[in-house]
A and B are shown apart, each in its own frame.
Chain A
């Protein structure tokens, strides 16, 4: 082979130039699909983050480095022997006044919010979760053919976006506009109960604003050691999707791997540390929970195995608690109990293991076979919803499978101890699974829906192409 790097790279470049590429038209088509699907992925990611940090202390169910065989479990299937009636509605459907492809309502406390496109504008509605009655309805906010209409909220602010960078912050009382902001393309945004924080992906600049007024509270200026990621600190009790950040600690990760803890309101630096194996790569596998920073991902380079590093942000101490074998990759990872990390260890294209690891000692508590070729992992306390291979499994704190479904159902945590199983978007039966016993309660039929549903322990809010409907979840 040539001994000069110029020659070798030139050879690589020539090969690259022969790679067949898709067309620009195909890229545009894919871009439009991404716009339509983006809010679904975002909502799912939020659920993973929020539910993934549900941790309770005092779970004394650990076993030393034990491989647990899967046990038979009840299956949830699409067909059931006895017919059930419609899911009981709450109030009247909230109409859009037009036919839509999809919307994605959200719930905050006792409020429902939904947004949709009306030509080149966005309509937003607020309704009472208990009664389904509309509280206010407004229209405005510029959007476009390639853009969308998205809404998220806290108790004190409603955030509306068009997916193209323009965002409006509204007063939940009457929908009046309080302030506006612009999103960066690949940047991050965190919504704290009092503060809105965003990071610009190009410059690394971080700006914190008062959530109600938009007043700038503090900033981190661009630097050569730019900020690569910001994480809100999750604490026990924030398991349910939709709960905003309440802890005042913001974790800032710089490109060098340095990790800072700042007061999210004042911006004051409370701790600066560089973990033993500094974080690198993307945001996947990073969690800030109860004063600790969990980083599971590749080492410095491809010749190093992946590792999980836990940093105590109070003391600055850090250690590698788990090192994968060379050639393995870490799939999904989440905090899954007091000082416990659960991860999918991908051995090869045909073998993967779900492992629970003690975050203090690094000891593998248990391992069970996991899905290959990709997985999802959502924890609530020590229990896990594990997706992959076309199967969703509920795994208990000892690694035993409590139930599984192989249908196209959407499975989400309802609360601690209960899982909500929703039918495919074409409609079907809604069920609740008791996670202790794996028992299934059939609640009723849900019509076809156009987008993601939102729920609380006793309400389900789902969009159709013409309206958004509220249902009771009653066992």
Chain B
């Protein structure tokens, strides 16, 4: 298999998951498009070395984390992409549920937001999130618990309604 084929296979297998993650962090379909494209562009730059990585998807998410950290970076990504190629097709506006959830997510610290996106959008267990973030299992449980409580408060719910048993996951 050539390097290009290897990369294209990886892109096909993982880009949808990365789009979910980027959408969960930003709540903006256009931003998610840009971040996914930029993350894979950076991956292609380093593809030979990424081949040695245990979890290349985690590396992509790290790139998305950093690029999504603030609006300023996202503007830079969009400008770079716009200058390089035509924009991807337009996307429909987000639903009311998404708007409410993303608004609530934005009230949370980034670590809580990341943990929630990994757990709920990518089905990662507490142990997997701990491995990816370098935090302890207890810390991740705390992030998820506090994240859910924060979401519940922001959504006008009680925490009890917003749990799914993740604290017991491992």
Contacts and interface: CB of A to CB of B under 8 A. Distances in A.
Nearest to B113: A301
Interface stretch (A4-12, A269-277, A402-410): A4-12
Contact of A20 (B23, B91, B94, B161): B91
A80 interface: no
A5 B154 CA distance: 12
Instruction: Give the dominant DSSP class at B's interface.
Output: helix
Contacts of B50: 185
Nearest to B20: A16
Contact of B29 (A13, A19, A24, A204): A19
Contacts of A363: none
Contact of B44 (A23, A31, A303): A31
Contacts of B44: 27-28, 30-32, 146
A26 interface: yes
Contacts of A9: 24, 101, 116, 120-121
29 contacts: A1-B97, A5-B163, A8-B100, A12-B24, A15-B94, A16-B16, A16-B23, A17-B20, A19-B33, A19-B91, A21-B37, A22-B33, A24-B15, A25-B8, A27-B11, A27-B43, A34-B80, A165-B46, A165-B49, A185-B42, A186-B62, A282-B73, A298-B69, A301-B106, A301-B107, A301-B108, A303-B107, A374-B75, A374-B76
Interface residues on B, range: 35 or more
A283 to B, nearest CB: 9
B124 interface: no
Contacts of B168: none
Nearest to A144: B48
A16 B32 contact: yes
A422 to B, nearest CB: 21
B84 interface: yes
Contacts of B80: 30, 34
Contact of A16 (B12, B37, B110, B121): B121
Interface string A79-101: 00000000000000000000000
A282 B41 CA distance: 19
A120 interface: no
B144 to A, nearest CB: 10
Interface in A206-225: 222, 224
Nearest to B28: A19
Interface in B22-67: 22-24, 29, 32-33, 36-38, 40-50, 59, 62-63, 66
Contact of A224 (B32, B97, B139): B139
Interface string A124-158: 00000000000000000000101000000000000
A35 B42 CA distance: 9
Interface of B: 4, 7-8, 11-12, 15-16, 19-20, 22-24, 29, 32-33, 36-38, 40-50, 59, 62-63, 66, 69-73, 75-76, 79-81, 84-85, 88-89, 91-92, 94-98, 100-102, 106-110, 113, 116, 120-121, 134-136, 139, 148, 151, 157, 161-164
Q: Which 6 A-B residue pairings sit nearest by Cβ, starting from the closest?
A: A31-B44, A302-B106, A27-B40, A30-B41, A24-B11, A9-B120
B151 A5 contact: yes
Contacts of B23: 12, 15-16, 19
B70 A282 contact: yes
Contacts of B102: 12
Contact of A22 (B45, B49, B85, B139): B85
Contacts of A226: 134
Contacts of A20: 33, 88-89, 91
A329 interface: yes
A24 B107 contact: no
A298 B70 CA distance: 7
A17 to B, nearest CB: 6
A224 B47 CA distance: 27
B106 to A, nearest CB: 3
A237 interface: no
A223 to B, nearest CB: 8
Contacts of A13: 20, 120-121
A222 B134 contact: yes
A24 B101 contact: no
Contacts of B113: 301
Contacts of B59: 185, 202
A3 interface: yes
B164 A31 contact: no
A315 interface: no
Interface string A283-299: 01000000000000110
A280 interface: yes
A348 B162 CA distance: 34
A204 B72 contact: no
A18 interface: yes
B32, B41, B94, B113: which has the most chain A beta carbons within 10 Å?
Answer: B41
Contacts of B135: 224
A21 B71 CA distance: 20
A331 interface: yes
Most chain A Cβ neighbours within 10 Å, of B19, B116, B161: B19
Contacts of A12: 20, 23-24, 97-98, 101-102, 121
A69 interface: no
A30 B136 contact: no
A5 B139 contact: no
Contacts of A185: 42, 46, 49-50, 59
